[in-house]
């Protein structure tokens, strides 16, 4: 059994200790001194794949959950029914094929629709927010993914991809395992200031060797090769930007870990819970203010003892065993979301308010079950969106309301001064009070 789960100071007891006040040093000692004003806004994007069971997950009518009740699939969120809102009739207009995975979920781009390009994505909304909210944090954003044993197209996401895309439309690698997130957030005893400096210098030396005389080369290259070279140097600039950020924070020590290193092979529900728990710490210690998490689908299902593959499960049709398995999967997903909301509410921010009160959390999937592209599931929670209507199922009057309108509304509520995003036609006024 994992030491983290068996120690007297377990994950549960550690998180329960957070509900009593600011976490003990070394977590918030310097942070509390630096933040004397209002806590910052935080935005979290959680995305699954394949959708949920049509007849038992989605409410049939609009209204307050306290009055219309929660569906079977949403029932694990009962304790939070006044703090969640679900929106119907959203469609990602950029998605042209359900087998495209979640590559355009947060971008809204038609990745195959740019003339002369086989694939072309755009910046995701989490990265726009990172440019706005992440200037003062160690990580402008945290991008989480999942390395699933039965991944690839069967995960509903696209093989090995996160939800995040940079300003050039390039995929941002995601942190795939709890152990990798652990060493990203917490101090590693092997990381001395000298060792970090040597690593940064070594990486910089490699980049120096990779630089080319582009002016001389450009005169000899055709259009296609020039585009490839431009992409190469765009990637190089991103690496250099990351090195600059690491150097900037090199003299600010990371917090010490509150528990032992997790096992390397955690997966399914256990991995999701631990990822959620560490995200709480990342937010509370102000390591980052923007996060996206491409939730694992295949491993969660197999961990529940369900033998049906995730892709097959989304085509449940009239199969009673598949429908039953799909319904169980739905409740497991929302139970995990409820767990995350629980801890956001239990954790105190720098001013004594609940961390939940300063967060905006989006939870949804890139397609519906049966590979339907329209009317995507979209759930919102968190007190950081002060003008949002809470505790309701909202059916938008216009079918195929652009999903980009939804993202634009969230970004504006997070304080980003932006008038349009992707294929947006405006905000979603029905969401606001």
The predicted-structure confidence for 112-136, as pLDDT tens digits, reads as follows 887 777 788 999 999 999 999 998 9
Average pLDDT value for residue range 268-292:
95
Report the pLDDT value the prediction gives residue 332, as an integer from 0 to 100: 97
Q: Is the pLDDT of residue 423 over 80?
A: yes
Report the pLDDT value the prediction gives residue 29, as an integer from 0 to 100: 36
As given in the structure block, the two tokens for residue 397 are 């009057």
Contact status, residue 177 vs residue 271, Cβ threshold 8 Å: yes
Average pLDDT value for residue range 103-109:
93
Residue 362: in which H helix or E strand, if any? strand 359-365
Report the pLDDT value the prediction gives residue 234, as an integer from 0 to 100: 61
Average pLDDT value for residue range 394-414:
97
Report the pLDDT value the prediction gives residue 3, as an integer from 0 to 100: 31
pLDDT band at 148 (very low <50, low <70, confident <90, very high): confident
The predicted-structure confidence for 368-389, as pLDDT tens digits, reads as follows 988 889 999 999 999 999 999 9
pLDDT band at 428 (very low <50, low <70, confident <90, very high): very high
Higher-pLDDT residue of 72, 95: 72
The predicted-structure confidence for 304-342, as pLDDT tens digits, reads as follows 999 998 888 989 999 999 999 999 999 999 999 999 999
Q: What percent of the chain has pLDDT over 70?
A: 75
* Residues near 75 by beta carbon (within 8 Å), at least 6 away in sequence: 331, 334
What string of DSSP letters covers 228-243?
Answer: HHHHHHHHHHHHHHHH
| CA dihedral for 134, 242, 30, 46, sign (positive or negative) | positive
Mean pLDDT for all residues in the chain: 83
Q: Is the pLDDT of residue 34 over 90?
A: no
Report the pLDDT value the prediction gives residue 195, as an integer from 0 to 100: 58
Three-class secondary structure assignment of 294-334: ECCCHHHHHHCCCCCCHHHHHCCCCCHHHHHHHHHHHHHHH
Report the pLDDT value the prediction gives residue 252, as an integer from 0 to 100: 77
pLDDT band at 274 (very low <50, low <70, confident <90, very high): very high
Report the pLDDT value the prediction gives residue 25, as an integer from 0 to 100: 31
Q: How far is CA 239 from the centre of its chain?
A: 21
Q: Is the pLDDT of residue 397 over 90?
A: yes
Q: Is the pLDDT of residue 187 over 90?
A: no
pLDDT band at 147 (very low <50, low <70, confident <90, very high): confident
Q: Tell the burial category of 284 from Cβ atoms under 10 Å away from its Cβ (0-12, 13-18, 19+).
A: buried
Dist. CA 139–CA 134, nearest whole Å = 7
Report the pLDDT value the prediction gives residue 24, as an integer from 0 to 100: 32
Report the pLDDT value the prediction gives residue 250, as an integer from 0 to 100: 66
Q: CA nearest 126: which of 380, 400, 361?
A: 361
The predicted-structure confidence for 247-260, as pLDDT tens digits, reads as follows 666 667 888 888 88
| CA dihedral for 103, 99, 117, 408, sign (positive or negative) | negative
Contact status, residue 50 vs residue 313, Cβ threshold 8 Å: yes
Q: Is the pLDDT of residue 355 over 80?
A: yes
């Amino acid at each position: 059994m994992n030491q983290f789960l068996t120690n007297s100071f377990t994950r549960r007891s550690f998180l329960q200790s957070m509900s009593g006040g600011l976490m003990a040093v070394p977590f918030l000692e310097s942070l509390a001194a630096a933040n004397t004003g209002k806590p910052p806004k935080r935005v979290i994007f959680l995305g699954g794949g394949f959708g949920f069971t049509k007849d038992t997950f989605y409410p049939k009518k609009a209204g307050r959950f306290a009055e219309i009740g929660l569906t079977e699939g949403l029932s694990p969120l009962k304790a939070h029914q006044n703090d969640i809102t679900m929106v119907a009739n959203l469609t990602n207009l950029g998605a042209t094929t359900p087998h495209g995975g979640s590559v355009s979920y947060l971008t809204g781009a038609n990745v195959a629709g740019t003339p002369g390009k086989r694939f072309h994505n755009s910046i995701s909304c989490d990265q726009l927010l990172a440019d706005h909210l992440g200037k003062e944090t160690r990580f402008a954003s945290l991008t989480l993914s999942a390395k699933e044993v039965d991944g690839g197209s069967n995960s509903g996401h696209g093989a090995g991809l996160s939800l995040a895309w940079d300003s050039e439309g390039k995929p941002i690698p995601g942190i795939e395992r709890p152990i990798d997130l652990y060493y990203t957030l917490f101090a590693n005893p092997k990381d001395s200031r000298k060792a970090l400096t040597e690593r940064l210098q070594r990486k910089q030396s490699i980049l120096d060797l990779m630089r080319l005389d582009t002016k001389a080369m450009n005169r000899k290259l055709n259009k296609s090769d020039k585009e490839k070279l431009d992409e190469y140097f765009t990637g190089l600039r991103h690496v250099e930007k990351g090195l600059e950020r690491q150097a900037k924070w090199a003299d600010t020590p990371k917090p010490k870990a509150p528990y032992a290193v997790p096992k390397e092979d955690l997966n399914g529900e256990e991995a999701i819970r631990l990822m959620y728990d560490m995200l709480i710490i990342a937010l509370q210690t102000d390591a980052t203010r923007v996060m996206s998490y491409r939730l694992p689908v295949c491993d969660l299902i197999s961990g529940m003892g369900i033998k049906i593959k995730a892709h097959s499960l989304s085509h449940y049709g009239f199969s009673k065993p598949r429908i039953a398995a799909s319904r169980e999967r739905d409740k497991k997903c929302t139970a995990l979301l409820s767990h995350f909301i629980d801890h956001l509410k239990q954790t105190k921010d720098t001013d004594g308010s609940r961390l939940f009160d300063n967060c905006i959390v989006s939870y949804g999937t890139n397609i519906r079950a049966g590979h339907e592209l329209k009317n995507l599931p979209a759930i919102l929670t968190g007190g950081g969106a002060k003008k949002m209507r809470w505790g309701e199922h909202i059916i938008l009057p216009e079918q195929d309301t652009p999903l980009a309108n939804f993202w634009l509304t969230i970004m504006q509520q997070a304080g980003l001064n932006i008038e349009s995003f992707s294929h947006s036609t405006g905000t979603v006024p029905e969401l606001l009070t």
